[in-house]
Amino acid sequence: MKEVNDLDLFTLSNGLRVAHKVTDRPVSHCAFIINAGTRDEEKDEHGIAHFIEHALFKGTKNRKSYHILNRMDSVGGEIDAYTTKEITCFYSSFLSEYYDRAIELLNDILFHSEFPEKELNKEKEVVIDEIKVYLDSPSDQIYDDFESQVFKGHKLGNGILGTEESIRQLKREQLFSFTQRMYQPSNMVFASVGNISSKKLKKILEKRITDSKSSSIVNTKRIGFNSDKVQTIKVPKPTYQTHCIIGNTAYGLHDKKRIPFILLNNILGGPAMNSILNLKVREKYGYTYTIESNYATYSDSGLFSIYLAADQKYIDKSVQAVLKELKQLRDKKLSSNKIHQYKQQLKGQLALGRESNTNILLSNAKSLLFKNRIDSIEDILSSIDAVSENDLLEVANESLDINRLQYLYYTSTLK
């Protein structure tokens, strides 16, 4: 009998790394995560990683687009995908009896897509429409524009969707070139969370995926980012509110200061209503409805940002209130009692997130891809407990330094 919640790691004969967690639930999940994203695009490929995410659903040697979409839908399952600056992910959720169906389909679209010209032309219009939808939402657009500002001149500053011009000029041959370059089993991982033994899963994988062998060594070395440039940019926008982002680069995935900064960011402006920014700027003064801080990590860098939107007459007061709270965190240690409470809060949030098997699936896949290991929830919670008052003060002074902060405003032009 299989042990529920066992985590098994193994490697297929073609070099594909696999992480499988056994559960006893009727619904299972699996995913391929490829170490390929926006920052891996060449100069004439802007937007290609995300466009390929769309294009892989448009036809293979074995199926047309309708048959791809219908394959999991017809048994009540789901298949989806997303693209980031560093990864592309394809995943499926289904009744556990359909493991073989899901794996065969994902293998087919990843390794046997034909990119039919007619379908590509239609999908270009779909992606261009997606770009326009995004441009209609200033609260979304400002994040990408800020990242472009902070990482100016570097691939991490390129937008994931590309531009209308860059998408229109993409050629079918470029899609084949990018996938042949990056979509190699040695450059991806497969993760699974579901009601199947590791032995049976491995048998299915070896049957379905061994025809997909690594044909070349993938060069995944990425150029790091290094810049101390600080600037404030104001862009007039036809909006009723003024939108603002404050922040700069932060610690990368492998930096030992990442965990202390995750805790500090959660204290400052995390999702809970008792975050410092929510209590001091929204609740105390009523300057804004939306205020939050975020910390995104990349393999070799990171981005810290504080986002808020307010009426034009309150924007300067809001920013000054934010800077006051940042100074407090730089100048004064939090009490041991406060830190204990904040640690318990973050640990609880992480534990609640792991109630979702989809979250576990994607977390395991990304951890195996970038770290070649998967930390247990106990290890993660222990690393939070190990953060000291001095650790928090140190990262606050490094990352919340007023002289390092960059600003981007979408200034309101509507009354």
- pLDDT, one tens digit per residue, over 234-285 is 999 999 999 999 999 999 999 999 999 999 999 999 999 999 999 999 999 9
3-state SS, residue 80: strand
In 3-state terms, what secondary structure has residue 79?
Answer: strand
CATH 3.30.830.10 holds for 232-412: yes
Question: What is the 3-state composition of the chain as percent helix, strand, coil, each rounded to the nearest 5?
Answer: 50, 20, 30
Strand order in the sheet with 232-237: 232-237, 406-412, 242-250, 302-310, 288-297
| 249: β partners | 303
Q: What is the mean pLDDT of residues 214-221?
A: 63
Mean pLDDT of 151-179: 97
The confidence score (pLDDT) of residue 2 equals 40
How open is the CA angle 90-224-52, to the nearest 5 degrees? 25
Q: Same topology for domains 7-209 and 232-412, yes or no?
A: yes
Four-point Cα dihedral 132, 133, 138, 139, nearest 10: -140
pLDDT at 219 exceeding the cut of 80: no
**Residue 86 pLDDT > 50:** yes
User: pLDDT: is 226 or 198 the higher one?
Assistant: 198
Let me know if 395 is exposed, middle or buried by CB neighbors in 10 A (0-12, 13-18, 19+): buried
Tell me the CATH number of domain 7-209, given options 3.40.1360.10, 3.30.830.10, 3.40.50.920, 3.40.50.2300: 3.30.830.10
Phi first, then psi, for residue 18 (nearest 5°) are: -130, 135
Do β-strands 302-310 and 406-412 pair in parallel, antiparallel, or remain unpaired?
unpaired
Tens of pLDDT along 309-323?
999 999 999 999 999
Burial class (CB in 10 A: 0-12, 13-18, 19+), 153: exposed
368-381 pLDDT tens trace: 999 999 999 999 99
Instruction: Please give the share of the chain, as a percent, with pLDDT higher than 70.
Output: 96
Question: Residue 283's CB: how many other CB atoms inside 10 A?
Answer: 11
How much is the average pLDDT of 94-121?
Answer: 97
Instruction: Give me the pLDDT at residue 227, please.
Output: 82
Q: Give the sheet arrangement for strand 7-11, strand by strand.
A: 7-11, 17-22, 188-194, 27-34, 88-95, 78-83
Q: What is the per-residue pLDDT for 6? A: 81
Average pLDDT of the residues in 91-118: 97
- Tell me what pLDDT residue 73 has: 97
pTM as predicted: 0.94
Asked whether the predicted pLDDT for residue 144 surpasses 80, the reply is: yes
* pLDDT score for 221: 76
In this prediction, residues 37-66 reach a mean pLDDT of: 97
Q: What is the mean pLDDT of residues 105-121?
A: 97
CB-side exposure of 70: number of CA atoms within 13 Å? 6
The lowest-confidence range among 211-215, 279-283, 342-346 is 211-215
Task: With CA atoms as reference, report the closest residue to 60 among 102, 117, 114, 116.
Answer: 114
Pairing verdict, β 302-310 and 288-297: antiparallel
Mapping DSSP onto H, E and C, the string for 167-191 reads: HHCCCHHHHHHHHHHHCCHHHEEEE
Angle between helix 99-111 and 198-209 (nearest 10):
30
State the pLDDT at residue 216. Answer: 59
Distance (Å, whole) CA 150 – CA 32: 30
Distance CA 302, CA 296 (A): 6
- The pLDDT mean for the chain works out to 94
The structural domains of the chain, with segments of one domain joined by +, span: 7-209, 232-412
pLDDT at 4 over 60: no
Contact 241, 309 (CB under 8 A): yes
Structure token digits, residue 304: 């810290």
pLDDT of amino acid 1:
30
- The angle subtended at Cα 68 by Cα 194 and Cα 30, nearest 5°, is 15
Q: Give the least confident one: 219-233, 246-260, 333-347.
A: 219-233
pLDDT for 199 equals 96
CA end-to-end span of the chain: 67
| Per-residue model confidence (pLDDT) at position 226 | 86
